[in-house]
A and B are shown apart, each in its own frame.
Chain A
Amino acid sequence: EVQLVESGGGLVQPGGSLRLSCAASGFTFSSYWMSWVRQAPGKGLEWVANIKQDGSEKYYVDSVKGRFTISRDNAKNSLFLQMNSLRVEDTAVYYCAREVGIWGQGTLVTVSS
C-alpha cells in the first residue's frame, strides 16, 4: 500500500525552528518528485515546495524562500522540510505529497507565543 506519514509538527515560538519528516512506503520513492503543501486553519491549500527525484532541483513559494529548506534521503525513503525563522502566519497543517497524486494525513505546525 502506498503511504506517506508526516511527523515533526508541534507548537513553536515565533522565530523558532522545526523539522518535518515524511516517511514513504509502498512505492519507489526515488522515482518521484515530492512536495510539501500547507493549509492554514479554515483556509485553502498553499503549495510550499517541491524537490526533484535526485534532489538536484528545488522550488519554493516566495513566502518561505530563505527560511525553509526541502530535502530528501532516497536511501531512507524520507522527505524533509527544515523550517527556520517561523512566523505566526506559518501556522498550518503541512502535507507531504507524491507529485500531488498521493497525500499524507498532515502534521500540524502552530507558531505562537
Chain B
Amino acid sequence: DVVMTQSPLSLPVTLGQPASISCRSSQSLVYSDGNTYLIWFQQRPGQSPRRLIYNVSNRDSGVPDRFSGSGSGTDFTLKISRVEAEDVGVYYCMQGTHWPHTFGQGTKLEIK
C-alpha cells in the first residue's frame, strides 16, 4: 500500500501568519492518464471532512484562495497564506492513484 506521510502533525500558527503542511508518498502518484490524484481535506472539530484541493492544485468551489496546493511525483504541499480562526482543524492528504486509497495521519492546526 502507498504510505502517505504528513508533517508536521501539530501546527500552531499565529492569526494572519502563513502555514504549510507537507505530504510525501511512498510511490509516485502520477497515474497512467497523466493526472496526479493527490487530494487535501479539512476537518473542522465535530464536522465531516471537506475537500479543499484535488489533483494537487485545483481548489474546490467555495474554498478561499488563501489555500493553495502544489507539488509533483511524491512530494506535495498545502499552504495557507494567512491563517484565519475558521481554519482550525485537522488537515489530511489522500492519494487516489493507487488501490487502496490511503490517507496521511493528519495535521492538527491550532491558533497560537
Say whether A and B bind each other: yes
CB-defined contacts of A11 to chain B, threshold 8 Å: none
User: If the complex has contacts A50-B101, A59-B100, are A44 and B51 also in contact, measured as CB distance less than 8 A?
Assistant: no
A45 lies within 8 A of B100 (CB):
no
Query: Is the beta-carbon distance between A62 and B100 smaller than 8 angstroms?
Result: yes
Interface pair A104/B99, CB less than 8 Å apart: no
Among listed A24-32, A83-91, A95-103, interface-contacting one: A95-103
Q: Does A82 contact B (CB under 8 A)?
A: no
A104 touches B39 (CB 8 A): no
State in angstroms the CA–CA spacing of A95 and B103 once bound together: 14
Near A by CB (< 8 A), chain B positions 69-95 give: 90, 92, 94
Interface residues on A, range: 10 to 19
Q: Tell me the complex Cα distance, A46–B106, Å.
A: 11
Q: Which residues of A contact B (CB under 8 A)?
A: 35, 37, 44-47, 50, 59-62, 95, 100-101, 103-106
Verify if B32 is at the interface (C-beta below 8 Å from A): no
Interface size on B, residues (CB 8 A): 22
Structural contact, B48 and A59, CB atoms closer than 8 A: no
Q: Is the CB of B49 within 8 A of A45?
A: yes
- 20 extra A-B contacts, CB within 8 A, seeds A35-B101, A44-B103, A101-B54: A44-B90, A44-B92, A45-B49, A45-B92, A45-B103, A47-B94, A47-B100, A59-B99, A62-B1, A95-B49, A100-B39, A100-B41, A100-B51, A100-B94, A100-B96, A101-B51, A103-B48, A103-B49, A103-B51, A106-B48
Interface positions of B (Cβ within 8 A of A): 1, 39, 41, 43, 48-51, 54, 60, 90, 92, 94, 96, 99-106
Do A60 and B92 form a contact, CB below 8 Å, given A44-B105, A44-B106? Answer: no
Give B37 Cβ to nearest chain A Cβ, in Å.
10
A105 adjacent to B48 (CB under 8 Å): yes
Expressed in whole angstroms, the minimum distance between the Cβ of A96 and any Cβ of chain B is 10
Q: Select from chain A the residue with minimum beta-carbon distance to B92.
A: A45
Indicate the member of A44, A45, A62, A105 with the most B CB atoms within 10 Å: A45
Which residues of A are found within 8 Å of B48, using beta-carbon distances?
95, 103-106
